[in-house]
């Protein structure tokens, strides 16, 4: 049986997510089925930008979850995340990507980095959450671009997204071979 490319992408994402989750794969499957979209955000407990963006992500999730959009925090490698989850009040599902399968699939290289998928598994948006950090170590006092928010609004309002990809600024996802 051959799957259409969009169905194949959805099947691959579900397969990868099932192997990386801290919750049951059935729960993940049900939460992606018949939803308008899903957000996968790569985070790292040691990355200051991951720490700084956690309240923003929690707020965005609470804003868009009633519309059926679920968020997933993805931690690549083998970080210790329990303190991070408690400290930064991460309330959305956590995926542990110890063998970098999700990072490879999404092409994630930095944290935080967001990926938004539509119901068919197509990438709607990839990149930074907003333009708070133009470069590592710099932060704007006024955020003028809300990339992830715009992507989520485009899903809810059934509109085309103006900007589908932005460069991510953050900590590199380290791939250790030990």
Classify residue 107: in a domain, yes or no.
yes
Number of domains in the chain: 1
Measured CA to CA, the distance from residue 61 to residue 26 in angstroms comes to: 21
Cα pseudo-dihedral 59, 61, 66, 70, rounded to 10: 180
pLDDT of residue 13: 54
Give the chain's length: 178
Classify residue 114: in a domain, yes or no.
yes
pLDDT at 80 over 80: yes
* Local confidence band at 24 (pLDDT 50, 70, 90 cut-offs): very low
Cα pseudo-dihedral 143, 62, 158, 28, rounded to 10: 120
Q: Please state the φ and ψ torsions of residue 133, each to the nearest 5 degrees.
A: -115, 95
pLDDT of residue 14: 53
Classify residue 12: in a domain, yes or no.
yes
More confident residue, 64 or 121: 64
Q: How many CB atoms lie within 10 A of CB 24?
A: 10
pLDDT of residue 19: 54
Classify residue 64: in a domain, yes or no.
yes
pLDDT at 33 over 50: yes
Classify residue 178: in a domain, yes or no.
no
Least confident range of 28-37, 38-47, 80-89:
28-37
Classify residue 150: in a domain, yes or no.
yes
User: Which domain covers residue 104, as residue numbers?
Assistant: 5-172
Classify residue 177: in a domain, yes or no.
no
| CATH code of residue 63 | 3.40.30.10
- pTM: predicted TM-score of the whole model, two decimal places: 0.83
pLDDT tens digits along 35-44: 889 999 999 9
pLDDT of residue 162: 87
């Amino acid at each position: 049986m051959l799957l259409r490319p969009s169905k194949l992408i959805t099947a691959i994402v579900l397969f990868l997510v099932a192997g990386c989750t801290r919750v049951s794969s059935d729960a993940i499957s049900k939460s992606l089925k018949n939803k308008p979209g899903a957000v996968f955000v790569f985070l790292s407990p040691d990355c200051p930008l991951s720490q700084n963006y956690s309240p923003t992500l929690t707020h965005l999730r609470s804003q868009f979850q009633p519309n059926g959009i679920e968020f997933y925090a993805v931690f690549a490698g083998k970080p210790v995340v329990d303190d991070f989850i408690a400290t930064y009040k991460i309330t959305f599902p956590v995926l542990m990507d110890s063998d970098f399968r999700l990072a490879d699939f999404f092409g994630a290289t930095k944290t935080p980095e967001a990926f938004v998928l539509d119901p068919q598994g197509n990438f709607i948006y990839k990149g930074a959450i907003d333009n708070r950090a133009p470069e590592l170590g710099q932060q704007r006092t006024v955020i003028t671009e809300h990339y992830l928010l715009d992507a989520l609004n485009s899903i809810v309002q059934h509109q085309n997204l103006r900007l589908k990809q932005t460069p991510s600024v953050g900590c590199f996802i380290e791939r250790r071979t030990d």
